[in-house]
Amino acid sequence: MEAWHEDWHRDCAAVGLAGPSSDLGEIKRAYAKTLRKTRPDDDAQAYQALREAYDRLVAHARRQELIAAQAAAEEAATEVVTEAVVTEAAAVVDEPAVVAASPMAERIEAVIDSEWPATAPFPPAAAPAPVPSAAPAPAFHPQPPQPAQPAQPVFLEAAGPSPEDLCHELIHLLKQGPAKLEAAMPALRRHLGDLPLERQLEASARFADLVVQLEDHLPPHLIDLLREHFNWSRDFRIERLLGDERIAALAAVLERHPPPITDAATLQEFGPTVRIAQLSSSASEGNRFKAFIGALLMGHTLPLHLQWAGWQLLRRLGLGEAELGAVQKLGVKTRNAALVVIGLLAGLLSGVLAGSVNEGIEHGFSAMFSVVIFCVVMGYVGQALDFLREAVPAWLARRLKSERWERLSPWVGAASFAVAGLALQLAPVYGDAMAGLSLVFLAIGLLLGLKGTPAMITTAVALWGFFVWAVPTMMPVVAGLQAAWISASVSVYRLRLYVPNPTFRVQPTRPAGGWQAIALLLTVGLPTLMAWLSSLAGMRSTVGAITLALTVGRVLNGVAPLPRAAIMIGSLYLAMGLWLAAQRAGWHLARRLFRGTPAASAMNGGR
């Protein structure tokens, strides 16, 4: 089965048809019924895929109607005309090299060699012997310009030009600049639509060769126009005409230039995010500063939103490798800026509570550098743990990677933390052997119980350090039990045993389970809550909130342990809530400020 045939069957099934069909009414009825179950608000990607399948089926059905109408007209014609048309069609289909070796192909090569930068050579097919036709098509001869008025482009002439003339005039307009080409686009679209059916295949082959040869010099909207008109990915006849090598080159070009998104819901959802990414790669310093402000307002939701969109959708929204590389560099800058914000807030809070500007400045710098050092160290710790997990014998690795052990190992690691704390508690009584045993179980706990993304691991360790700092008189056995609690609670989220928001969202929303779930997350499930927030709000938000709570405890160092611990825990909840509220407000503000559509941004080159 041909590739286009498989795609057609797949599109029919996606729309909801019981079987392959070219009936336009049946396609529309099936689409309307399926659309009731697939809404853009519920699943934007599924809706986009459904809409694209529907558009392809409608285009295919209309093309089949045109082909059927043409066949009926040819059957009603005279025997002489029928024989001439069949002979001409056979010459076009069976002799692809006639199109490749035409004067138009030679002119393309001349343009590339003389005026355009060098591009990858496109190998022409070997030219077979020409087959005589019954009646050769008359050549197109444009009328000379009148003395009183300037010459008009072929696109603007009243008579319909041939495919060869259209290609020739397109190259001429490319030399004149984008303004001339843009003005001639409506006429090009009209002339392509007015070409008779027997010349559409020739035009498809000629423009396919032109797109491959001049890919770097054609604007994206021109490639989209030609793709939409000729529907190269669905026309099996063009495969036979061009050959495998040339059709592969055309497919590579079309893959590098995917069709743009036209769905209003998708553009509204991802428009501001894509706009910031486009501004980040602009040549203007002012636009890059705007992108930095937008990324700072969005925070961790910007890379999360781009990740949610996916590479294919981002390409169709107008983002290329340059824009994605620029937005990744922008993310590094915003993360560094978040560390500065943490230091400023810690210094301001310390200065206000202590009533000393000098102490506030000192503690602000201390908090900022402490967070930087802590995050860097935790990054290396995570890499070291991953290395040790991989550096095991092959026979043991096979057992450790089994599904049963994957489910069991986190709880073994959590229990190891508790045993390590108990052994350390008994070390003064039983000597150094018990201390050594504590280190062994601590290592097992780290290898088995400290898993997840770097944000989860860093947040879990920071939370354990926060509780140890809040209660400095904590016994080793209590510290071990606390580490076991944090490890087990993080594993609950990592293993997806409980997810506060089962449906993926870029902003934290009310957890599933109502007020009971909220009460549990704020008490015994606090590590689960922090692991979830580190994934959606970013590691800087959770570590920043913990840092601010530690700042409060540092200022209140002279207060009794229990009141001080209660105030620090309350400060943690308050800091986390304020941080999330600020991030949500920044997200909505950035979306309002950068509401320019990606299509318009792409047309302007991100300026």
Instruction: Give CA–CA dist 442/159, Å, rounded.
Output: 85
461-493: pLDDT as tens digits: 999 999 998 888 889 999 999 999 999 999 999
Residue 148, pLDDT score: 41
Amino acid 440: pLDDT: 94
Question: How many angstroms separate the CA atoms of 416 and 438, rounded?
Answer: 9
Sign of the torsion formed by the C-alpha atoms of 343, 346, 350 and 351: positive
- DSSP class of 356: -
Nearest to 597 by CA among 220, 259, 267, 291: 267
Contact 556, 537 (CB under 8 A): no
Look-up of token digits 């706009």? 275
- Whether the Cβ atoms of residue 421 and residue 478 lie closer than 8 Å to each other: yes
Query: Which pLDDT does position 465 carry in this prediction?
Result: 93
Judge whether 98 and 130 are in contact, CB under 8 Å.
Answer: yes
Cβ-contact 246, 125 below 8 angstroms? yes
- Token couple for 518: 């909220």
Long-range contacts of the stretch 42-46 (C-beta < 8 A, 24+): 44/265, 44/266, 44/269, 45/310, 45/313
Tell the residue number behind the tokens 């560099």, with chain if given.
329
CB 504 within 8 A of CB 426: no
**pTM over the 0.75 mark:** no
CA 343/CA 373 separation, integer angstroms: 13
Range 124-134 burial, b when 16+ CB lie within 10 A, else e:
bbeeeeeeeee
DSSP string for 418-449:
HHHHHHHHHHHHH-HHHHHHHHHHHHHHHHHH
Helix and strand numbers (H, E) in the chain are 28, 0
Report which of 582, 581, 555, 552 is spatially closest to residue 569, judged by C-alpha positions.
552
CA dihedral of residues 382, 386, 391, 397 (deg, nearest 10): 150
Residue range 93-151, pLDDT digits in tens: 344 433 343 444 444 445 444 433 333 333 333 334 344 444 443 443 444 444 444 44
Task: Measure the CA–CA gap between 522 and 534, rounded to whole angstroms.
Answer: 15
CA–chain centroid gap for 566, Å, is 43
pLDDT at 480: 94
Amino acid type, 439: L
- Res 29: pLDDT: 75
Weakly modelled stretches of the chain, pLDDT under 50: 1-2, 78-109, 111-159, 597, 599-607
pLDDT confidence of residue 141: 40
pLDDT value for 118: 36
